[in-house]
Structure 1
Amino acid sequence: MRKPPFLFTKIPFPALFLLLVFSLTFQVISQNLDAERSILLDVKQQLGNPPSLQSWNSSSSPCDWPEITCIDNIVTEISLSYKTITKKIPARICDLKNLIVLDVSYNYIPGEFPDILNCSKLEYLLLLQNSFVGPIPADIDRLSRLRYLDLTANNFSGDIPVAIGRLRELFYLFLVQNEFNGTWPTEIGNLSNLEQLAMAYNDKFRPSALPKEFGALKKLKYLWMTKANLMGEIPESFNNLSSLELLDLSNNKLEGTIPGGMLTLKNLNYFLLFINRLSGHIPSSIEALNLKEIDLSDNHLTGSIPAGFGKLQNLTGLNLFWNQLSGEIPANISLIPTLETFKVFSNQLSGVLPPAFGLHSELKLFEVSENKLSGELPQHLCARGTLLGVVASNNNLSGEVPTSLGNCTSLLTIQLSNNRFSGGIPSGIWTSPDMVSVMLDGNSFSGTLPSKLARNLSRVEIANNKFYGPIPAEISSWMNISVLNASNNMLSGKIPVELTSLWNITVLLLDGNQFSGELPSQIISWKSLNKLNLSRNKLSGLIPKALGSLTSLSYLDLSENQFSGQIPPELGHLNLIILHLSSNQLSGMVPIEFQHEAYEDSFLNNPKLCVNVPTLNLPRCDAKPVNSDKLSTKYLVFALSGFLAVVFVTLSMVHVYHRKNHNQEHTAWKFTPYHKLDLDEYNILSSLTENNLIGCGGSGKVYRVANNRSGELLAVKMICNNRRLDQKLQKQFETEVKILSTIRHANIVKLLCCISNETSSLLVYEYMQKQSLDRWLHGKKQRTSSMTSSVHNFVLDWPTRLQIAIGAAKGLCHMHENCSAPIIHRDVKSSNILLDAEFNAKIADFGLAKMLVKQGEPDTMSGIAGSYGYIAPEYAYTTKVNKKIDVYSFGVVLLELVTGREPNNGDEHVCLAEWAWDQFREEKTIEEVMDEEIKEECDRAQVATLFKLGIRCTNKLPSNRPTMKGVLKILQQCSPQEGHGRNKKDHEVAPPLRNDTYPTTYKL
């Protein structure tokens, strides 16, 4: 008999069998991977071969591709989020028979619900933040294993199919922000495993009641149905939601009372009800000892605050603001050992404040404003040293400010306006190291102004009190003050020249005091000043011409003083919305810019004033006699001859000086190019004259200079580093150079070179022909300037505004997302968005920018930066900032583009962001808020999208603002050229609204 081969004679049969099985298995696995790779490469091709999938190739295993996850060498997960996909998902993807997870979120995918119902093993499906349209398939229950479904932020419409109620394995269902227009399917109540259910921001649904069937969801922990057009009462069946941790039914039309049994659920950890138009009483039987946060704010709740709240020994936050609650605050609430936040403002509460607040817990926020409370402030609010803010304005509180608040080093803001407080202010309040705002107006406080303030203090409001004495010369140390309101006190003496050194001041109100003497002429450093009121004092002398250089000034009131002489013609250069010069001793002709009916009440009780046109109720300026004219002409000729002689001598001396010293001076300048340039730096230096001056900002003057070699126009910013100047401007200069020299982006202004010596520093930029967005939006109110006529002749139409918004967003997004170290601009505003000849937007002025050393780790700023009306509200709480402060400021710019209003001109009382939030809450139509100049020809849907985006960007809570990347996506969706024709939807959804989502009583 023939012997078998040696190999088989040496291997036992069981081992041989295993070897054969392994060999066959390996061969099957290899063939399966080849097949799955072929499927995936086909999918890639049908997706248009996006560059983001370049790692998908025929020479590597799919299990090694970043977007693919395998189990036992079988493809089980595909993650294609943020891949800029613009094509439909091919049905071929379901040929991957073991696919469990499919994530295509945050793309630009169009079309109807993808053809993936044959993916029979699919458990996780994420389609959020795309451009899907049409209905959800009526047979979606074919995906019978589905456990996780998220369709957030698309354009799905029609009814939510009842078949969803047959997906019995679902534990996560998010249908947020779509175009559904049916009713809520009661069959969702059959999903016994459901833990998280979110159907918020579907306001096109037919008005309907909250389905009582939802009460059967025993495992439900999270229910979010904000703005879902819900009507009626909260069903009693909700008492059965024994696992509920978060309930958000905000911005609906629910009514009735809160079911009493709901508040006894032992597992309820977060009870968040922002229920719009909810009425009735709060149940008094509250035994939920595990409750950590209660928010019943922004409702129509009535009755008293239940004493049962005091039994919640784990409660950290109690938010009952914006209701109609009455009665006294239960004393036992102040005894809760975990209480950190207590907000009951804007109610009808009365009685005294419980004295134990702050004594037993680490109280941080205490807000009781706009009630009918009386008595004194609790003495122990800061007993644990954690208090951040006290807001008790608009009550009947009295007595003195507790001395303990003067020792509270954690305090960021104190707001006691419009009460009956008296006595002095504890000195520590002025100097608390992190204090940002002190608002004490409308009381009977007395004492003198402090000579020293906390370095971050930016807002001081002490109007309508009894403060007395002079303004201290040390006021020059108040360098971060942005708003100073000391109206209607008993302050006296001269206005010190040191006051003019407050370069960051935007609002200065000193009216109704006893100031005398002349107004200092050295006021050119008030470049940010927007509002100046010195009326009802005893000021005399001439009105300083330097006021005309304050280009940001829009409100000027010098009435009821003793000013004399002519009104400086330079005032006509200002964009003055309000001008009051009445009841002085002024004489001569009113500047021609003010000789029209808009200023008919601006010059009353000045009998020596006159006009050339009969538009104001003033006499006409009389023509002078002939002899007088001849005499004046002789004097004029004589004076002009003398002037020309002086000029000739001066120019000769300058010429000689330059001939002798040109070489030495020329070499003293350091020239640092950042691009390939052909420049004559001496030509630039010699062109920095007043005739070429085009702007002045907080960090220097800007000149328009022609390059004598190429003829190209340049913009040159000059910062002088003389001894009188502190190091702040030099630091800004170095920061701007550091940032701009490294950035290359089409929507960020290009820094061409730097020229510097020991006394001056120059930044040379590309010149932007159309100047700033601010000039085009608000320049129509200006009455002189080289570009006023162009502003009048050209209305910034809607497509141009949208183009500008997209361009600016691209620049900021690049700074935040694409730089090696993320850059925070810190001073985003319409005047820092420059426009080229084609109205392409570029971000400019990085003097306040700060580079983050480590991504995601906020940096501590040395002081409050930014511009009034654009400053994010978290500056009132902390100096820790991140990219969301730029998002807030950009949101204000969006609101400017839509409404045409200025950032600090929402209406008489609020800034633009607050005004916009008010319009949004009042459900005003877009017609009621949009700029009149764009009403005739604009896409209403686009305008509404930008207004809502501006609202979201200016959310009080930074975490609820989108990122600049998300903002850019939304803007691009509005433009067919930018967004691949996507539907005009907001495609980045913020989390559910929590406490502090709406504007709180903390002010900037």
Structure 2
Amino acid sequence: MSKTSAAFLFVLILTHACSQLCDGQEQAILLKLKQYWQNPSPISHWIPSSNSSHHCSWPEITCVNNSVTQLHLSDKTIGGTIPSFICDLGNLTYIDLNYNNIGGEFPKVLFNCSKLESLDLSQNYFVGEIPEDIDSLARLGYLNLASNSFSGEIPAAIGGLQELRHLQLTSNQFNGSFPPEIGNLSQLEYLSLAFNDKFLPSKLPSCFKQLKKLKTLWMSKANLIGEIPDMIGDMAALEVLDLSQNELTGKIPDVLFLLMNLEVIYLYSNKLSGKIPQVIKSSNLTMIDLSDNNLTGTIPSEIGKLEHLSGLVLFSNQLSGEIPESIGRISTLRDVRLFSNNLSGTLPSDFGRYSLLEKFEVASNKLTGKLPEHLCNGGKLLGVVAFDNNLTGELPKLLGNCNSLLIVDLRNNGLTGSIPDGLWTSLNLSNLVISDNFFTGELPKKVSDNLSRLVISNNMFFGKIPVEVNQWRNLSVFNASNNFFNGTIPIELTALSSLTILLLDQNQLHGSLPSDIISWRSLNTLNLSENQLSGQIPESLCFLPNLVELELSSNQFSGLIPPKLGLLKLTSLNLSSNHLIGSIPKEFENVEYSNCFLNNSGLCANTADMNLDICYSPKNCYLQNLILISSILVAVFVLSLPLSFFMTRFYWRNHELGSIPECTAFQTLNFTMGSILLGLKDQANKIGEGGSGEVYRVDLTGNNNFVAVKKISNSKKLEEQMEKEFQAEVMTLSRIKHSNIVNLMCCISGENSKLLVYEYMENGSLYQWLNKHQASSAIVLDWPKRFQIAVGAAQGLCYMHHDCSPPIIHRDVKSSNILLDSEFNPKIADFGLAKMLIKQGEATSISVVAGSFGYMAPEYARTRRINEKIDVYSFGVVLLELTTGRRANYGDENRSLAEWAQHYFQGSNSIVDALDQDVKEACHLNQMCNVFKLGIYCTRTLPSTRPCMRTVVQLLLQSAHPPHCQVMNAEKKYETTRLTRNSKDESSSGSSNVESV
């Protein structure tokens, strides 16, 4: 071998050895990074290997020539800070740490990553200012700092990032002005400064006209003022413009429509005025969104010339006149939302004829005539929302062949005829709302399997409720009030276990109410008034755990009122105008119920406040004697039962759990297992029912020494799931010892049933008190008690989140899971759905989806991703309940309490006007207002902008002793943000009736 060949071979060997050494060093850096971030479970698969380039196969790592160039660590629950040694990965060009729990100031250690081209730190917990020397990252082409808590001025040095093509600073707390140096970013294609409403009031910067390559400008809610300047016409590359939710004024400038490349316009939620300009020349315009402004005038007919238009969104303005016929002939049209205007005339007949129409929402106008016949020609139509108009005629027959439909809402029109057969059974239909029209016909035997809401009240439907109604399995709301239905209420109707609202009042129904209605466990509203129903009120009504509204007035019900009806936590009751006799349940002997029993000549009460006869007056002696004799006869009959029956029942009680029950105690017990088993009577002691079992109140000694017992019964079908829930609850509760968390005393396990024994809470749940279920009590849940409950419950959750190892997430925080002892001290309860933040490799014990409507955090409802912030959101709803007295799932007609409160607060309304009138006192106003605002803070849409429970406790304690009493208004708003992972798609979310299904 020649000397030259030998030298060349030596160089190759040396190069290979160096490469191997470098690869090994990079693997070591990555493992060190994993250790620094305390081994987050999503990257537990990062394990050392003798193969020096093994790390390049990890899914979070991208290598070029076996060297790390990219880190993809989005949504990995990483906490803490970013370590300096991350830049020891010398070839790193790309870092994505989006959607984690990283905090602190901007990580200047990244300035040492000399090759960095893309940096995403969005949706974390960064604070402070962006460094003045941010231009040290000279190679950056992509920078995303959205959804953090950066504040102060945006530094002028941002203009020094000459390679920058994408800059996103959405949803922070900047409080300066827009730096003119942004105009120096000659390569910039995407700029977002949206949702920074603490910016100083400013006009749209004139320097932006220098951004010749800018395609997207998103400045929603950025405190813009004044008119839209003509210089926007110089931004020739612009495709997407979103200036929504600002304080812009004046008309939309004509130059806006001279942008030949403009594809999307978002200008909603401003205070624009004037007419829509007639000059629309952009042949590439695909979306016009001018919604939620104060626009007047008519819809320009020139819009019909836009051959590529896919969306026309003009809702919530003051537009008038007719909808131009030419719009219906645009072949690319997908989205038509024109609701909440003053539009009149008939709808263009060509809507849907030539296009694949998906959304059609024209509600709350003054439209007349028929619905267009061809709305669903393309087979893509998701919804027809046209309520509150003056539409007439029959429904289009072709809607009967439209299986894509999710919602049809045509209430409050003048529509006639029958419903097309196919519409009832449309495959995906979940909401059919056609009330307040003149529809006729009979109910079908079959409806869509997905139908959950059927509202047909105030029409002219007739006939019987079909026995096939038991096949409408997913129906939760059935409102058929004020029609001409006759016949009896079929027993098959009781098979609908998902029903929450059943309204059949003002019809011609007769016969008795089915007695076996125990399957209606979800029912909260039952109205059968103004019919011809007879017989006794079934006692099974008393065992519907969620029933809060019961209306049976103006019928022919007779006999006694079931005594246990008083055990229901009713907020609305009406049994008037029947043939009922006997005394009313003692729980209703309260002036609040004084009009609930009128026109029942046989009823009496023990108080004169009820507008009824006194039970022991001479007039009622005969009736009382009759009742007394009947009671004696019943008692004699019961006492004469064979002794064998008693022995059988005694045997059943002792063997209910199986032949060898086991008791595991978590503290010293003053009772025996036998006393618990003997206390479980069929229904007498039952006080509630949860998702995994029934709850009983058991008196251990006969001297009001109560405990609460949750009974979980096994079955072949549910045995495995119940076992998981039982084990999860025992594992969780046995470890928790805190004065604001309900105490688990022991568990009893057998082959047939499993029991959890808790301390008993005398004052029930917070939900019962807030909904006035304790109206007969002399104690009023005043504001000091409510504040005490807020602080205690917050401390309990804080302990779970911050002092348990591993942390525990409740997942179903709500007012009914906050129990109150004799002194109204709160304790968090119902941990059957709690979940620990377990380490990777340990078996997760809960797979069931948790949460309750009205309390569920929006990101959890959408992604099922679990972290502490879903509990914070739910607790914020509880705070809003405490301060406003409203229900969590009913802020107003269309929104949950959290949604209503956010909207109310953003509207600069007086907080004082939103407070609960029953407890509002001058010396508590300041404190109540602060707690209301804390509820707003906790229910922010974006999880990263909500406080942790430790902060919530601190803020509550700071409000415990307000300096003085004063009325506080909502002039200063908390920032409201939204999830920006799909930022541009979400800019129009929540603005569609179809999307709200």
If the length of structure 2 is used for normalisation, what is the TM-score? 0.78
Q: Which residue of 2 aligns with 1:716?
A: 711
2:157 to 163, 176, 189: 163
Q: Which residue of 1 aligns with 2:177?
A: 183
1:496 to 457, 476, 490: 490
Are 1:777 and 2:767 matched, yes or no?
yes
CA separation of 1:270 and 1:76: change in aligned 2, threshold 3 A: same
Q: Which residue of 1 aligns with 2:881?
A: 899
1:137 to 128, 131, 137: 131
CA separation of 1:381 and 1:421: change in aligned 2, threshold 3 A: same
Q: Which residue of 1 aligns with 2:432?
A: 438
Q: Which residue of 1 aligns with 2:192?
A: 198
1:289 to 283, 297, 300: 283
Counterparts of residues 380-459 of structure 1 (less than 5 Å): 380-459=374-453
* SS of aligned partner of 2:481: coil
Q: Are the counterparts in 1 of residues 469 and 492 from structure 2 also a CA contact under 8 Å? A: yes
CA separation of 1:91 and 1:501: change in aligned 2, threshold 3 A: closer
**Cα displacement string for residues 754-794 of structure 1 (whole angstroms, at most 9, x for unaligned residues):** 977xxxxx552544557899932344546579999999996
Structure-2 separation of matches of 1:998 and 1:516: 44
Counterparts of residues 221-620 of structure 1 (less than 5 Å): 221-606=215-600, 609-618=603-612, 620=614
Letter of the 1:456 counterpart:
N
Letter of the 1:746 counterpart:
T
Letter of the 1:161 counterpart:
P
Q: Which residue of 2 aligns with 1:212?
A: 206
1:746 to 732, 735, 752: 732
Letter of the 2:187 counterpart:
N
Greater displacement, 514-523 / 622-631: 622-631
CA separation of 1:495 and 1:186: change in aligned 2, threshold 3 A: same
Structure-1 separation of matches of 2:225 and 2:452: 45
CA separation of 1:456 and 1:881: change in aligned 2, threshold 3 A: farther
Q: Which residue of 2 aligns with 1:849?
A: none
Structure-1 separation of matches of 2:132 and 2:126: 16
CA separation of 1:626 and 1:800: change in aligned 2, threshold 3 A: closer
Greater displacement, 990-999 / 337-346: 990-999
**Cα displacement string for residues 654-683 of structure 1 (whole angstroms, at most 9, x for unaligned residues):** 427988x999x999999999999x999999
* SS of aligned partner of 1:508: strand
Q: How far apart are 1:541 and its partner, in Å? A: 4.2
Identity across the alignment (%): 41
Q: Are the counterparts in 1 of residues 534 and 555 from structure 2 also a CA contact under 8 Å? A: yes
* SS of aligned partner of 1:308: helix
* SS of aligned partner of 1:351: strand
Q: Are the counterparts in 1 of residues 193 and 222 from structure 2 also a CA contact under 8 Å? A: yes
Structure-2 separation of matches of 1:985 and 1:769: 40
* SS of aligned partner of 1:746: helix
Structure-2 separation of matches of 1:110 and 1:1000: 40
Q: Are the counterparts in 2 of residues 806 and 968 from structure 1 also a CA contact under 8 Å? A: no
**Cα displacement string for residues 221-258 of structure 1 (whole angstroms, at most 9, x for unaligned residues):** 22222221111222222223333333222222222222
Q: Which residue of 2 aligns with 1:690?
A: 683
Counterparts of residues 902-917 of structure 1 (less than 5 Å): 902-907=887-892, 911-912=896-897, 915-916=900-901
Are 1:11 and 2:2 matched, yes or no?
yes
If the length of structure 1 is used for normalisation, what is the TM-score? 0.77
Q: Are the counterparts in 2 of residues 63 and 75 from structure 1 also a CA contact under 8 Å? A: no
Letter of the 2:900 counterpart:
W
Q: How far apart are 1:312 and its partner, in Å? A: 2.7
* SS of aligned partner of 1:652: helix
CA separation of 1:256 and 1:637: change in aligned 2, threshold 3 A: closer
Structure-2 separation of matches of 1:519 and 1:354: 48
Q: How far apart are 1:568 and its partner, in Å? A: 3.5
Q: How far apart are 1:973 and its partner, in Å? A: 7.3
Q: Which 5+ residue runs of structure 2 have no aligned equivalent?
A: 736-743, 835-846, 956-973
Q: Which 5+ residue runs of structure 1 have no aligned equivalent?
A: 1-9, 721-729, 757-761, 819-823, 847-858, 875-879, 953-961
Q: Which residue of 2 aligns with 1:154?
A: 148
CA separation of 1:166 and 1:611: change in aligned 2, threshold 3 A: same
Structure-1 separation of matches of 2:471 and 2:872: 31
Structure-2 separation of matches of 1:348 and 1:34: 70
Q: Are the counterparts in 1 of residues 856 and 874 from structure 2 also a CA contact under 8 Å? A: no
* SS of aligned partner of 1:209: coil
Letter of the 2:644 counterpart:
S
Q: How far apart are 1:440 and its partner, in Å? A: 1.2
Counterparts of residues 619-658 of structure 1 (less than 5 Å): 620-623=614-617, 635=629, 639=633, 642-643=636-637, 645-646=639-640, 649-655=641-647
Q: Which residue of 2 aligns with 1:725?
A: none
* SS of aligned partner of 2:103: coil
Q: Are the counterparts in 2 of residues 239 and 259 from structure 1 also a CA contact under 8 Å? A: no
Structure-2 separation of matches of 1:335 and 1:627: 80
**Cα displacement string for residues 663-711 of structure 1 (whole angstroms, at most 9, x for unaligned residues):** 9x999999999999x9999996994533442324688755568999xx9
Structure-1 separation of matches of 2:37 and 2:469: 65
Greater displacement, 634-643 / 229-238: 634-643
Are 1:798 and 2:787 matched, yes or no?
no
CA separation of 1:560 and 1:222: change in aligned 2, threshold 3 A: same
Q: Are the counterparts in 1 of residues 766 and 819 from structure 2 also a CA contact under 8 Å? A: no
Q: Are the counterparts in 2 of residues 780 and 788 from structure 1 also a CA contact under 8 Å? A: no
CA separation of 1:986 and 1:974: change in aligned 2, threshold 3 A: farther
Letter of the 1:947 counterpart:
I
**Cα displacement string for residues 189-213 of structure 1 (whole angstroms, at most 9, x for unaligned residues):** 2211111211122111122212122
Structure-2 separation of matches of 1:773 and 1:252: 48
Q: How far apart are 1:387 and its partner, in Å? A: 2.3
Structure-1 separation of matches of 2:733 and 2:761: 14
Q: Which residue of 1 aligns with 2:987?
A: 994
Structure-1 separation of matches of 2:734 and 2:344: 55
CA separation of 1:866 and 1:204: change in aligned 2, threshold 3 A: closer
Structure-1 separation of matches of 2:428 and 2:733: 36
* SS of aligned partner of 2:877: helix
Letter of the 1:219 counterpart:
K
Q: How far apart are 1:260 and its partner, in Å? A: 2.7
Q: Which residue of 1 aligns with 2:741?
A: none
CA separation of 1:152 and 1:563: change in aligned 2, threshold 3 A: same
